Structure 1
Amino acid sequence: MSSTKKVLLEQVAHTRSGDKGNTSNIAVFAYEPALYPLLKEQLTAERFKAFHRTAITGDVLRYEVDNLHALNFVAHGALGGGVSRSLSLDNYGKALSAAILGFEIEVPQALLSCLRTRQPASPQGHADAGAGQP
Structure 2
Amino acid sequence: MKDVAIEGYASLFWTRDLNDDVTAAGAFRESLEAGGAGAIRMLHQHDEAEPIGVWDEVFEDARGLFVRGRIITATPRGRLVAALVKAGALDGLSIGFRQVKARTQGPLRVLSRVELWEVSVVTFPMLPGARLTVAG
TM-score (norm 1): 0.43
- Bigger helix fraction: 1
